[in-house]
Structure 1
Amino acid sequence: MDFYLTALLQGLCYAGIAYGIYISMKIFNIPDITTDGSYALGGVVTGALLTHNEPGYIILPAVVLAGALAGALTGFIHTKLKINALLAGILVMTALYSVNLTILGRSNVPLLTMPTLFTSIVVTTNVNQNSLFILLAFVALVTIIIGYLLKTDFGIAMRATGNSEPMIRALGVNTDRMKIIGLAIANALTALSGYLIAQQQGFADISMGIGIVIVGLGSVIIAETVINWLQITSVWLSLLLVLAGAIIFQFVLAFTLSIGVDANLLKLITAIFVLIIVGLPRLTTRSE
């Protein structure tokens, strides 16, 4: 049971990554690999500021700003320098490794003795339940903000940029600016996941983002499968399904560990699981 409670907590922490991947890949159709670097950046900024005894109202905006700057840089390289989006993301992700190491000062910083979000707010004396209530409130607030943003005129313009760039450009919308802002928002959300995970797990590590993009991608693919199956058009319902996808993804990994699979094989299992959920619908369609 502890496996599944931990999976639920991690699924909620990874909601930011799932939303970020949803915005970059499903709204803008941009394969953004900056995710690995901006996730670690969120954790590193959190760890560095916590060790300097900075208050939470400074740490959270700093994390969001850092992630947004990373995403905006990728967007700028892609749109203004006309470099392939995948390559732009790889370049920024690579550069962020050195940036993260410089910010943190070393490869790993423990945070177990630091006053984190989960120790500063006490709803119940049970540690896991307390973390659950805080994460539910935090993720609900983020979901409401993103859902509201996507329903505004600006959000509709963002969605139209991904659906039909020539059409929205003909209407006078600066699509390059939309992409830069969209990637900034996506990576700010990704950095929030790093912010939560660093505090929930009790350490910040410059390598914590390696392969993390697969978690967000798997979450979004799970949601997309349901969205396409039920032909859902509601933004709010789509966001809730993306959140559910992040939780389901972690439950699958928890089940894998609970049946005795070696933890060293977890990354392999993750890759195979994503391959299955990506390939199965295509194989089913082909067989029909």
Structure 2
Amino acid sequence: MFISMFGAVESGVIYAIMALGVYLTFRVLDFPDLTVDGSFVTGAAVAAISIVNGIPPIYATAMGAIAGFIAGCITGLLHTKGKINALLSGILMMTALYSINLRIMGQPTLSMLNETTIFSQLESMWAATGIDSFLNGLLASIGLEQFPSTWAIVFVMIIVTVLIKFITDFYLKTEVGLALRAIGDNKKMIRSLSANTDTLTIVGVGISNGFVALSGALYAQLGAFSDVNMGIGMIVIGLASVIIGEALFGKKTIARVTLAVICGAVIYRMIVTLALRVDFLDTGDMKLITAIIVITALVAPKTLQIRREKKRRSEKREQLGRQAEGDSHA
């Protein structure tokens, strides 16, 4: 149980970067971008083929993120310059990326089992410290499971994800970031102030897909493979993370909502892991589980709000009734 939940946190922290990208388009820009399913694989494909060809993992990961940024910018161009509907622009780019990703990898699945990745380097560095043996011995002495050797990966990924969160918070508070947020709220208003909304939208969608591709590049290295179909449903996972985070932690400030998105991604993975431990569910039911989680996250807060509102109105009526009764006795 401990090992499986640890794995959920491990993948959840990586998915959190993708969820931040989804948050930028869906919440900040109000842009329903479906490029995510394709750009996630693009990041994984570029990183995988680069590593296989001997490029250092850190550079390969950066190249994957840049490839995703370019894909996002093309989606933005299709919408702003090509005057294509935002939803359709994302669908077209996602469709095109399927073939592009196949071209990049040269095959449907590309293995990195015998290659050096960022995470294999981290594990080697951590093993050299000897702390892993000490922790395992300590846990064994109190009768607990051995600590996973990949805990260093989680530690480093939490640092990287939190760093990206702070950069995102800072960026959204700059002049350009405020303009991006204004576009999502009222595009006509920001255009009337002579802001170049087309360029801002292109850059915003590009950054979003850069985050998604970065997540894909890291996830591919975690699993040591890249598959052309690994991005299917990523947009739903990203939305689930955003919705769960906002429902549980609120969205009063930018800093709070970005933290909520990260926590939402981790909680989503933990929920899925727990659900798959139920006897009558298997891995083929993951999409169904995801849909149920999203529906619950969407319906539950509204249901609770309606109940609170009914309770408030009922208490108000009772208060007015008592006041009226007191006035009649007077």
Same fold (TM over 0.5): yes
Matched, 1:220 2:239: no
2:9 aligned partner: 8
Unaligned 5+ segments in structure 2 are 133-148, 311-330
Question: How far is the alpha carbon of 1:176 from its aligned partner?
Answer: 1.1
**Secondary structure of 1:109 counterpart:** strand
| Alpha-carbon distance between aligned partners in 1 of 2:302 and 2:152, rounded to the nearest angstrom | 41
Within the candidate set 212, 216, 241, 1:194 is matched to: 216
| Alpha-carbon distance between aligned partners in 2 of 1:64 and 1:266, rounded to the nearest angstrom | 27
2:269 aligned partner: 250
1:146 aligned partner: 168
Identity across matched positions, percent: 36
What stretches of structure 1 move > 3 A for 4+ residues in a row? 282-288
Contact 1:39-1:193 within 8 A present in 2 as well? yes
Please give the per-residue CA displacement for 1:160-218, whole angstroms capped at 9, x wherever unaligned. Answer: 11112111111111111111110000000000110111011111101100111111000
Please give the per-residue CA displacement for 1:82-139, whole angstroms capped at 9, x wherever unaligned. Answer: 1111111000000000000000000001112111001223453353112112212221
Matched, 1:134 2:156: yes
TM-score (norm 1): 0.94
| Alpha-carbon distance between aligned partners in 1 of 2:296 and 2:158, rounded to the nearest angstrom | 29
Within the candidate set 232, 242, 257, 1:210 is matched to: 232
| Alpha-carbon distance between aligned partners in 2 of 1:203 and 1:264, rounded to the nearest angstrom | 20
TM-score (norm 2): 0.83
State which drifts further: 152-161 or 244-253. 152-161
Contact 2:45-2:226 within 8 A present in 1 as well? yes
Contact 1:12-1:247 within 8 A present in 2 as well? yes
Contact 1:118-1:134 within 8 A present in 2 as well? no
1:124 aligned partner: 126
2:298 aligned partner: 278
1:233 aligned partner: 252
| Alpha-carbon distance between aligned partners in 1 of 2:255 and 2:172, rounded to the nearest angstrom | 9
| Alpha-carbon distance between aligned partners in 1 of 2:25 and 2:295, rounded to the nearest angstrom | 20
Q: Could you tell me which amino acid in structure 2 is paired with residue 143 of structure 1?
A: K
Question: How far is the alpha carbon of 1:285 from its aligned partner?
Answer: 4.2
2:135 aligned partner: none
Q: Which structure has the bigger radius of gyration?
A: 2
| Alpha-carbon distance between aligned partners in 2 of 1:233 and 1:36, rounded to the nearest angstrom | 29
Within the candidate set 178, 194, 199, 1:156 is matched to: 178
| Alpha-carbon distance between aligned partners in 2 of 1:222 and 1:37, rounded to the nearest angstrom | 23
Question: How far is the alpha carbon of 1:235 from its aligned partner?
Answer: 1.5
The size of the alignment, in residue pairs, is 285
State which drifts further: 116-125 or 67-76. 116-125
Please report the RMSD computed on the Cα atoms of aligned residues, expressed in angstroms: 1.5
| Alpha-carbon distance between aligned partners in 2 of 1:3 and 1:22, rounded to the nearest angstrom | 27
Q: Could you tell me which amino acid in structure 2 is paired with residue 90 of structure 1?
A: I
Contact 1:3-1:258 within 8 A present in 2 as well? no
2:94 aligned partner: 93
1:19 aligned partner: 20
**Secondary structure of 2:126 counterpart:** coil
| Alpha-carbon distance between aligned partners in 2 of 1:226 and 1:265, rounded to the nearest angstrom | 25
| Alpha-carbon distance between aligned partners in 2 of 1:200 and 1:269, rounded to the nearest angstrom | 23
1:112 aligned partner: 113
State which drifts further: 164-173 or 17-26. 164-173
1:84 aligned partner: 85
